[in-house]
Amino acid sequence: MKLLAIETATDACSAALSIDGEIIERFEIAPRAHTELILPMVDALMAESGLRISQIDAMAFGRGPGAFTGVRIAVGVTQGIAFAADLSVVPVSTLAALAQGVNAGEGLAERVLVALDARMDEVYWGAYQRNGAGLMELVGLECVSAPNEVPLPTGKGWVGAGIGWTAYDDRLPAHCEGLVSTWDGAVFPRARDVALLGVAGHLAGQSVSAEQALPVYLRDKVTWKKIR
């Protein structure tokens, strides 16, 4: 299977191409430059692989939550390519993609608490646990919340990940005391992990048409009011 993935919901901008399980990626941390970077990244991947868009089976994109503009870029680019090539699309949670790539010690983390800075003194939050196939599954619900009020899962040995841990290091680690063994605020969601989850989603029948490739903000009304 050949799947093209895009992730632009945070300061990191990336595109990846999965070809029968092998993934190549372009990744750059470049705030406010996603519009200029993402299409050249896609072009570079297609050139490296020797494939044409018409030879791709499906697309996947980071559907948020994340920065409003960044999420909209991913949606717009994905819809444009998918419409033109008549491709189905797999929306992938940006939080899940971040959790998927988190390392702990010498291997991938089994339990991850993801926090992205949602501004307005809040975080986008999700708890994820790796299943038998090595894919992250959501425990509970994704939400937007004050850092000292996020819902906590049971158990120990969770790893914290995402810029929210750094932005609110005065409250979030204390709120999660006893649950979290370590945290890393410098890890970002990547298209390679969107691709991995996207392939699994496509095989599980979770693909949608291009017009149904919609963003998830978790705080739609507040976000729209803020930009008017």
Q: How far apart are CA 2 and CA 111, in angstroms?
A: 29
CA dist 2 to 51, 57, 127, 201, Å?
10, 5, 29, 13
Distance from C-alpha of 117 to C-alpha of 166, rounded to nearest angstrom: 9
Fold of 2-93+189-227: Nucleotidyltransferase; domain 5 (3.30.420)
pLDDT in tens, 26-60: 999 999 999 999 999 999 999 999 999 999 999 99
Residue 222: is its pLDDT beyond 50? no
Q: Is the pLDDT of residue 136 over 70?
A: yes
Structure tokens at 38: 């993402």
Average pLDDT of the residues in 53-78: 97
Residues found in the chain: 228
User: Rounded CA gap, 121 and 144, in Å?
Assistant: 10
| Class in CATH terms, 102-184 | alpha beta
Q: Would you call the peptide bond into 65 cis, given omega within 30 degrees of 0 as the criterion?
A: yes
Tokens matching residue 125: 């939050």
Lowest mean pLDDT: which of 63-77, 151-165, 207-221? 207-221
pLDDT for 220 equals 60
**Do the domains at 2-93+189-227 and 102-184 have one common CATH topology?**
yes
**Helix 68-85 and helix 34-49, axial crossing angle in degrees, nearest 10:** 40
Whether the predicted model's global pTM rises above the 0.85 cut = yes
pLDDT score recorded for residue 138: 98
User: If you average pLDDT over residues 100-118, what whole number do you get?
Assistant: 95
Domain positions in the chain: 2-93+189-227, 102-184
Q: Work out the average pLDDT over 74-93.
A: 98
Q: 74-78, 102-106, 133-137: lowest mean pLDDT where?
A: 102-106
Cα–Cα separations (whole angstroms), residue 155 to 76, 95, 161, 178: 39, 20, 17, 9
In whole angstroms, what is the distance from residue 102 CA to residue 16 CA?
17
Return mean pLDDT, the chain.
94
